[in-house]
Amino acid sequence: MQFESVIGLEVHAQLATNTKMFCSCQTSFGEQPNTNTCPVCLALPGALPTINQTAIKFAIQLGLATNCSIRLDSEFARKNYYYPDLPKAYQISQYDKPICENGWIDITVNSKVKRIGITRIHLEEDAGKLVHEGQDPNASYIDLNRAGTPLVEIVSEPDIRSADEAKAYMEKIHSIVTYLGVCNGDMEKGNLRCDANISLKPFEQTEFGTRTETKNLNSFRNVHAAIEAEIARQTDAIIDGETIYQQTLLWDANKKQSRVLRTKENADDYRYFPCPDLPLVLVEESAVEEYKKNLPELPDAKQERFMEAYKLSEYDAAILVVNKKTAAYFEDTVKQYGMAKKIANWIAGDFARLLNEAKIEITDSKITSAHLGELVQLIEKGTISGKIGKTIFETMFETGKMPQDLIKEQGLEQVSDTSLLQSICEKIVAANPNQVAQYKEGRTKLFGFFVGQAMKETQGKGNPKLVSDIFTNLLK
Ligand code: ADP
Ligand code: MG
Ligand code: ZN
């Protein structure tokens, strides 16, 4: 039996505000434990919250960028549960009046565009952290620096049908929040993470099956792997006649398997009610219009423009716009040097690979627009071959030296001296009578052999176009 997987993601994004959601404590990362705290986020009796206006603005911007309607009178609610990292024993969140609703984003998987609905985006505060690596190995320590940090939760419709689509959705959300600058998108630090709700059903059945929820997936790879594994687990279970329970799971990235954290609570377990300490969030229509007018160019629009302005394929443009900094770098280089397609190939190819290995961003690389532009020009002019260009690129990446300097230093200039190449090629023809005879009998593939010999002789520096012309002539 074939099953269709049904997936809905709940993405948490930490908002890039300087201060917390309901107090003026800093949100800075890596401080001494419990130093970014005050009576409000420590939940001392009598302390009252106030709303961070920047957080509201960020949530609205995100809602607009994801085609949501913006509620002008949204409400904070208390979500009650007990856990040691939650000093108030409730989390301030939003319940039936979230700030954004009914939106969508488009994702592309296997060159097909698919629209994924966004049910809601609501504001809430983060909890603190339990630390188990303290002085006493048997103790749990509590660090409340993170308590009260502003989050948005972006809840998708159950429109996603595969791990590939889920990953593409997550990547798109990452692009959008970082383009807007409302979240720094640092998944390793948990600043963008998601819970994946997964169920299976027979294809022809319209009703959804029982879902599980895998918590806190903090990389694109984990999103993909955890969903694949859960689909496989549920498929086996259903085939074996087992029941799927509505459970909360935790993904172990090392073991590549999930374990059960708890059997899921329902909304009523949280006893939601409007937070009596906070007013409704009243937003002026004109403010929403203003935010809308000032939204930056978003990934989809940028992709279209790149295809149009620089004659790039959909595929190339899509790769370039994933990261706002990469897109800006590309555009900056092309404005100075032209050769859009070639620049795009370098950025999406060797450059992306090296950045990935070094785990740095394009703007932190020693290769500036000038390095890349000059290199591509030198290859175009025939000063160096494309192959040597690749070696130079790697050295530039390590040293930050300009391509011209590296070419001089290492004597890598392409040999375009026709008479020198002519004599090298003649020698090769004379030294290989068998191959010449075979070639003339029709084994045209041997042409590559001759060119290869000439390249060997010139240490890869022979101008390939000239070498090829000379052999064509000699082997007639
Ligand atoms: P909760 O708040 O209890 O987690 P929600 O109704 O808000 O529950 O749904 C959370 C997420 O689960 C949403 O992204 C939604 O699309 C998804 N979802 C709901 N039902 C299913 C299902 N049967 N299979 C997969 N995903 C589902
Ligand atoms: Mg939820
Ligand atoms: Zn505080």
Please name which ligand lies nearest the alpha carbon of 36: 3
Number of residues in the chain? 476
Q: Is residue 133 classed exposed, middle or buried when 0-12, 13-18 and 19+ CB atoms within 10 A define those classes?
A: exposed
**Shortest-distance atom of ligand 1 to CA 209:** 23
Q: Is residue 286 classed exposed, middle or buried when 0-12, 13-18 and 19+ CB atoms within 10 A define those classes?
A: exposed
pLDDT at position 263: 81
214 CA distance to ligand 2 middle (Å): 11
The answer to whether the CB of 25 falls within 8 A of the CB of 42 is no
Ion ligand 2: residues, CB < 5 A: 10
Q: Contacts by 338-344 with C-beta closer than 8 Å and gap 24+? A: 339/373, 339/376, 339/377, 339/380, 340/310, 340/311, 340/312, 341/310, 341/311, 341/312, 341/316, 342/376, 342/379, 342/380, 343/372, 343/373, 343/376, 344/310, 344/312, 344/316, 344/319, 344/320
The amino acid sitting at 58 is F
pLDDT tens by residue, the chain, 476 residues:
789 999 999 999 999 999 999 999 999 999 999 999 999 999 999 999 999 999 999 999 999 999 999 999 999 999 999 999 999 999 999 999 999 999 999 999 998 999 999 999 999 999 999 999 888 989 999 999 999 999 999 999 999 999 999 999 999 999 999 999 999 999 999 999 999 999 999 999 999 999 999 999 999 999 999 999 999 999 999 999 999 999 999 999 999 999 998 886 676 789 999 999 999 999 999 999 999 999 999 999 999 999 999 999 999 999 999 999 999 999 999 999 999 999 999 999 999 999 999 999 999 999 999 999 999 999 998 888 888 899 999 999 999 999 999 998 888 777 888 899 999 999 999 999 999 999 999 999 999 999 999 999 988 888 888 999 999 999 98
pLDDT at position 267: 66
Residue among 15, 12, 361, 69 nearest 194 (CA)? 12
Four-residue CA torsion sign, 256, 184, 112, 347: negative
Please name which ligand lies nearest the alpha carbon of 12: 2
Name all residues whose Cβ lies below 6 A of ligand 1.
6-10, 155-158, 197-199, 208, 211, 267
pTM over 0.85: yes
195 CA distance to ligand 1 middle (Å): 10
Residue among 426, 424, 417 nearest 473 (CA)? 426
> What interhelical angle do 324-337 and 369-381 show, nearest 10?
50
pLDDT at position 425: 95
b/e map of 186-204 (b: 16 or more CB within 10 Å)?
Answer: ebeeebbbbbbbbbbbeee
**Shortest-distance atom of ligand 1 to CA 210:** 23
215 CA distance to ligand 3 middle (Å): 26
b/e map of 32-50 (b: 16 or more CB within 10 Å)?
Answer: eeeebbeebbbeeeeeebe
Rounded CA-CA distance 340/346 in Å is 10
43 CA distance to ligand 3 middle (Å): 9
